[in-house]
C-alpha cells in the first residue's frame, strides 16, 4: 500500500474551529488594537500639549519683551534735558500710543500696560500722554488710579521683589491658555517698573489637526481588521447555520416546557393559598353566626361594628381569590388611613380571644404606643399579615400557659414604627431561622411548616403569605428570631413617608 501524504484540507479537518474560537480571536485582536491606539494617541497628545504650552509661553514672553524694548528705546532716544516743542511732544505721545495700541491688535493679546511706582503708590499706564508725563515731567500732578488694571497691579505686588532684584521675565500661567507676562522695564539701565501683558495664544487647532489625522489612520486600520474578521465570522456562521437552527428549536421546546411548568406551579400555589384563606373566612363566618345569635337591643352597637369588620375581611378574602397579584390601588393609597394599634387590638379581642381552646391557656399582653402614626394601607390586608404571625406564636406555645406579647413603638428619630410579636414558648427550630441564598429565613418560604402547625392542619403558608405581603406589597421589613428566654419573636419595621432611609 502506497502512503499518501495528507493534503492541506485533511490536515485542518482534525481541528474544530467554531464560532466561539473566532469570537475570542476577534475580541483579542480588537482589544490589542484599541490598547495600542489608545497608548500611542495619549503619548502623542501629551507631547503635543507640552510642546504647545512651551511655545505659547515662549511666544507670549517674546512679544512682551519686544514691546518693552521698543518703549525703552523710544525713551532713551529722548532725554529729559532736551527742550521739546509742542510738535515733538505730540509725536512722542503718538509713538507711545502706537506701541500700546498695536499690541492690542494681536488676536491673542487681551491687556497691556506699564506698571510703575509713583511716590508710594503703584500705577498702571496704558496711555501715551500719561507715560510722557511720568517720564519727562517729574513734577506732574498725581496720576489717576487705573481700575481696569487692578488684577495686574495685584500680581505685580507679589512679583515686584523678584523683578527688581533679578530683572528676569516672570510669567504667571492661569489655566493652560492665559499667560500674565511681566517684563522688567529699565530705561537707561535703571529699573522703573514692569511691562505687563496678558496673552492667550491658542494653537489647539494644530494639535487637534494632528490628533484627528491619527484618529483617521487608526480608524481605517481598525476598519480593515474588522472587515476581515467579519468576513471570517460570516463564512463560519454560514457553515454552522444548521446546527444553530437545531439548537434554536431545542431551546424553544425547552422554553415552552418551562413556561408550562411555571404556570402549573403558579396555579398550584394559587390554589393552596385559596385553601389557606378559606379556613380563615370559614372561622370568621362562624363568629358572625354566633354574634347574630346573641344580638340584643343592648349590644347592637358593638356587635354591628364587629360584624362589619368581619364582613369586610371576608370580602377581602374573596377578592384575593380572584387575583394572584392584586392591583396596588386596592392595597395602599391615600384613601386608606389605618391605625395599626386598632387592627392589633381588634384581632386579639375579636379573633383569638373568641377561640374556645385559647381562653384559659393563653394570656395576651398588649404594649401599644399611642404615638404610632397612621398608614395609608388597607387594614384588612394588614390583618392578613398580623394574624398568621400571632397564630404562629400560639403554635410554638406548647401545652402550658402561653403569654403572647404584642407591642408597637414609634421611632421618631428614624421616622419608623416597629411591631413586635413575641411568646414565651419553646421557640422556632434553628433550621427554620437559617437564610437561603437570597437572605430570606426559611420560615418565610413556601411549603415550610414550623412544627406543631402540621398537627393542627396548617399548611405552612401563613408566615410565607405574611412575609410576601409585608415586604413586596407594603415595603416593610420582617424578621424572625428566638428570644434569650427561649420563645419566638417576629419583628416588623414600617418606614413612613419622609424618612431619609425609606
Mean pLDDT, consecutive 10-residue stretches, the chain (502 aa), reads 54 53 74 78 74 73 81 72 72 81 75 81 81 73 64 84 82 79 82 83 68 75 75 71 79 88 72 65 80 83 84 78 71 87 89 65 89 89 87 74 90 91 87 88 74 45 83 89 88 75 38
**What pLDDT score was predicted for residue 452?**
46
The two beta strands, 193-199 and 178-185, are: antiparallel
Ramachandran sector of residue 354 (left: φ over 0; alpha: ψ -120 to 50; beta: rest): alpha
**What pLDDT score was predicted for residue 39?**
80
SS3 477: strand
Contact 370, 392 (CB under 8 A): no
**What pLDDT score was predicted for residue 439?**
87
- What are the CA-CA distances from residue 318 to residues 134, 314, 347, 460 (Å)? 102, 6, 19, 21
- List the grid coordinates of 410: 414609634
**What pLDDT score was predicted for residue 79?**
59
**What pLDDT score was predicted for residue 12?**
47
Contact 157, 118 (CB under 8 A): no
Contact 84, 109 (CB under 8 A): no
SS3 406: strand
**What pLDDT score was predicted for residue 324?**
61
* 347 alpha carbon, distance to own chain's centre: 43
- For the entire predicted model, the pTM comes to 0.47
Angle of CA points 182, 185, 186, to nearest 5°: 150
How far is residue 219's CA from residue 264's CA, in Å, rounded to a whole number?
Answer: 54
- List the grid coordinates of 425: 414558648
| Largest distance between two CA atoms of the chain | 133
Q: Which of these, 46, 365, 415, 19, lies nearest to 207 by C-alpha position?
A: 46
Contact 455, 313 (CB under 8 A): no
**What pLDDT score was predicted for residue 293?**
83
Amino acid at each position: 500500500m502506497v502512503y499518501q501524504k495528507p493534503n492541506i484540507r485533511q490536515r485542518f479537518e482534525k481541528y474544530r474551529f467554531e464560532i466561539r474560537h473566532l469570537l475570542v480571536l476577534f475580541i483579542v485582536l480588537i482589544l490589542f488594537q484599541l490598547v495600542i491606539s489608545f497608548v500611542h494617541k495619549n503619548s502623542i497628545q501629551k507631547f503635543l500639549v507640552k510642546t504647545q504650552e512651551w511655545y505659547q509661553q515662549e511666544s507670549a514672553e517674546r512679544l512682551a519683551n519686544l514691546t518693552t524694548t521698543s518703549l525703552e528705546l523710544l525713551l532713551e532716544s529722548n532725554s529729559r534735558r532736551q527742550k521739546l516743542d509742542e510738535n515733538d511732544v505730540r509725536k512722542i505721545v503718538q509713538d507711545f500710543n502706537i506701541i500700546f495700541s498695536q499690541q492690542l491688535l494681536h488676536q491673542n493679546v487681551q491687556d497691556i500696560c506699564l506698571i510703575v511706582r509713583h511716590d508710594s503708590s503703584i500705577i498702571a499706564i496704558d496711555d501715551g500722554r500719561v507715560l510722557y508725563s511720568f517720564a519727562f515731567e517729574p513734577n506732574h500732578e498725581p496720576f489717576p488710579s487705573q481700575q481696569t488694571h487692578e488684577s495686574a497691579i495685584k500680581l505685580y505686588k507679589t512679583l515686584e521683589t523678584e523683578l527688581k532684584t533679578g530683572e528676569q521675565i516672570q510669567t504667571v500661567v492661569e489655566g493652560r491658555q492665559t499667560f500674565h507676562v511681566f517684563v522688567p522695564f529699565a530705561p537707561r539701565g535703571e529699573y522703573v517698573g514692569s511691562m505687563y501683558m496678558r496673552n492667550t495664544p491658542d494653537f489647539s487647532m494644530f494639535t487637534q489637526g494632528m490628533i484627528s489625522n491619527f484618529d483617521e489612520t487608526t480608524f481605517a486600520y481598525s476598519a480593515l481588521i474588522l472587515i476581515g474578521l467579519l468576513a471570517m465570522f460570516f463564512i463560519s456562521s454560514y457553515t454552522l447555520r444548521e446546527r444553530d437552527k437545531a439548537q434554536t428549536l431545542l431551546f424553544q421546546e425547552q422554553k415552552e416546557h418551562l413556561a408550562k411548568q411555571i404556570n402549573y406551579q403558579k396555579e398550584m400555589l394559587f390554589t393552596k393559598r385559596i385553601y389557606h384563606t378559606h379556613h380563615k373566612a370559614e372561622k370568621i363566618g362562624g363568629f358572625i353566626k354566633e354574634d347574630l345569635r346573641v344580638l340584643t337591643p343592648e349590644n347592637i352597637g358593638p356587635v354591628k361594628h364587629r360584624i362589619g369588620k368581619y364582613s369586610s375581611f371576608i370580602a377581602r378574602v374573596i377578592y384575593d381569590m380572584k387575583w394572584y397579584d392584586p392591583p396596588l390601588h386596592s392595597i395602599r393609597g391615600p384613601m386608606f388611613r389605618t391605625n395599626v394599634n386598632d387592627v392589633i387590638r381588634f384581632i386579639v379581642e375579636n379573633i383569638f380571644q373568641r377561640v374556645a381552646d385559647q381562653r384559659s391557656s393563653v394570656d395576651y399582653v398588649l404594649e401599644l404606643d399611642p404615638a404610632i402614626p397612621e398608614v395609608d394601607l388597607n387594614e384588612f390586608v394588614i390583618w392578613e399579615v398580623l394574624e398568621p404571625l400571632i397564630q404562629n406564636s400560639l403554635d410554638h406555645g406548647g401545652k402550658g400557659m402561653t403569654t403572647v406579647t404584642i407591642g408597637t413603638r414609634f421611632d421618631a428619630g428614624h421616622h419608623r414604627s416597629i411591631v413586635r410579636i413575641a411568646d414565651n414558648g419553646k421557640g422556632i427550630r434553628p433550621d427554620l431561622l437559617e437564610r437561603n441564598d437570597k437572605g430570606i429565613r426559611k420560615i418565610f418560604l413556601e411549603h415550610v411548616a414550623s412544627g406543631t402547625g402540621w398537627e393542627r392542619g396548617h399548611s405552612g403558608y401563613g408566615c410565607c403569605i405574611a412575609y410576601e405581603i409585608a415586604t413586596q406589597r407594603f415595603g416593610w421589613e420582617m424578621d424572625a428570631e428566638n428570644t434569650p428566654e427561649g420563645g419566638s419573636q417576629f419583628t416588623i419595621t414600617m418606614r413612613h413617608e419622609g424618612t431619609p432611609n425609606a
